[in-house]
Each structure stands twice: as C-alpha cells, then as structure tokens.
Amino acid sequence: MALITVTGLPCSGKSTRINQLRTFFGDKINRISYEGPLRKVFVLSDDDLEISRSVYDDSQTEKSARASLFSATQRALAADTILILDGMNYIKGFRYQLHCAVREARLRSCTLYVAASPDLCRDWNDKRSSNSSYSPETLKNLIQRFEEPSSMVRWDSPLFTVMWSDDSLPLEEIWDAITKGNVKPPNAATVPVSKTPTNALHALESTTTNIISAIMQHLSGTPVADGTLKLAVTANLEVPIRLPQRSITIAELQRAKRQFVMLHKKAVTLGSTDKGEMDWSEDRIATKFVRYLEEYVSHTK
C-alpha cells in the first residue's frame, strides 16, 4: 500500500527510527479491530542485499548498489505491504525514481528525514565496528553530497522531519499519510505505449488500395453509385459502404486514399491516432477508411 523512504546523513540514527516505525505499524495491523488491506511491514536495507559500506568508497560500485536497491524496492512494492526503505537515499534523483515507481504501482508514499549534525554522525561512525562503519574520507564525501529533502517537491512529499534528539515520531500522522493520502496516477512519461506493428504501413496501403479497387470494379458496370454496397476487400473481408447517387471518379477516390494514408502515417510512427490507440488490423483499417470515404464523397461534387 505504501513506501516510506527514510533519509538522513550516514549514522544519523535512521535504523532506530525505522524500528520505531516497524513496531508501531505492526501493532496497528495486528489489532483485532483493524480491517484494512495491510498485512505486513517490510524493511529493506543495504544489509538485506549484502551491500557493504565499502561500496560507497567508489562511484561505480555505489551506482551498482543503488541500482540493486531500486530493483529490490520495485519487487517488494505491494498493495498489502508497508515497505520501509532503509538506505542512503541521499540523492534527490534516486528519491524521484522511487516516487515514479510508487506512482506506477498506484501506491502511497512519504519521506521521513532524520536530521542530525555532521559532527554527531562522525562521532557515532567512530563508535561503530569496522564492518558497519564508513571510512573517514567516504563519510566526509557522503555528508558533502547529501541532498536534503524538501516538502516543496512532489517526490519528497509528504515529508516528516524528526531531530535525532526527539523522543518520538509523528506516528499517527505518518500512518494517515500512507493509508488515507491520495493515490496519484502514473506519470505520463512512465506509462507504457503500445508499439505499432512493423507491417502497419503496408497494411494501411494494401487495405486502402483493395477498397478503391473493389469500388471501381463495382462502378465499372454501374457508373452512378447509389445506396449501400457490399465490398469484397479480400477473400475473408467484406465491408459495407454507402455512396451518394452520382458519378464517382478514380481520381476522386485516389485523392481520398492519399489524404487518409497521410493522416495516419503519423500514427504509424507514434503508435496512436488522435487521443486513442489505432487498431492496425485489416478489418479495423478497412472500417475506418470506408467511414472516411463516405464522409469525403458526400461533401465532394
């Protein structure tokens, strides 16, 4: 149902706050009176993915670790789960990626910022064991590169900020944000667009040509069209068309065909036409072209 992205300087006390969240949410969900969709609280961290602190010594290994964390986050997102992300999460571009992933999954999200001074973080880092601490140079680099979250940007909102010295978290407010907040639709840029078949242009040309040929074959014996005709476009496709009571020339039909094809060539490139998708099957092309022809010849003399 929701993603909670926890961010802050390295060694700022994020894990302590995450334990508070996990305990509070677990108690909420396990109450007999709770009837909501949530079933579990899941915490995902670097340690779960066996990502050591040393990966942040090098930009390439850090990039790979961040990609692994993002992929694991996408897999863990679920409608019945509160996912708490315990990672560096210090780059706003990464938090934006998470924001887009949540919107694509149609879930809620919020950000928890644990604020602590750099000096305090250095002191806590020095007290850690060697396998859970950062090298002094890496810690300095991470502190300098930290991009503080802002409630003014959509990917960090709603934002909850807690000082390292605070005894408690705004737990009820966070609960409301992840259970009652608006679920935003996916960004248009992330919505998959159906691809146009590779033979779409050929189908467009051949189907419209066959329809013109079928009309001319019919009119060869009856120069003046009148009423609804049954056009045998192919052995397996027959479409009705209503023509006005007047002479219709091959030049007129060819002009209509060229205009129709030109109108839809852009759709072949984009995979859509107007505001809807184009069905590139032979029968759909034939139906649309016949309707276009009926309109064209009825307004042309």
Q: For 20-71, how does the pLDDT look when each residue is reduced to its tens digit (9 = 90+)?
A: 999 999 999 999 899 889 999 999 999 999 998 899 999 899 999 999 999 9
Q: What is the DSSP letter of 33?
A: T
Residue 46 vs residues 53, 56, 68, 134, 279: alpha-carbon distances, Å: 9, 11, 9, 13, 46
Q: Residue 282's closest CA among 247, 222, 235? A: 235
State yes or no: cis peptide before 10, omega within 30 of 0. Answer: no
Q: What is the mean pLDDT of residues 203-226?
A: 80
pLDDT at 167: 87
Which of 79-88, 178-187, 272-281 has the highest average model confidence (pLDDT)? 79-88
Tokens 């909670």 identify what position?
4
User: What are the structure tokens assigned to 48, written together?
Assistant: 């779960």
Strand partners, 225: 246
pLDDT at 275 over 50: no
pLDDT band of 9, cuts 50, 70, 90: very high
Residue 108 near residue 179, CB atoms below 8 Å: yes
More confident site: 262 or 222: 262
> Both ends of the chain: CA-CA distance in Å?
62
Q: What is the DSSP letter of 93?
A: H
- Full set of structural domains in the chain with CATH: 2-180 (3.40.50.300), 199-299 (no CATH)
Task: Give me the helices (H) in 77-128, please.
Answer: 92-104, 118-126
pLDDT at 228 over 90: no
Task: Give me the helices (H) in the chain, please.
Answer: 14-30, 59-76, 92-104, 118-126, 136-145, 171-180, 200-219, 250-270, 282-298
pLDDT at 301: 58
Instruction: Tell me, yes or no, if the pTM score tops 0.75.
Output: no
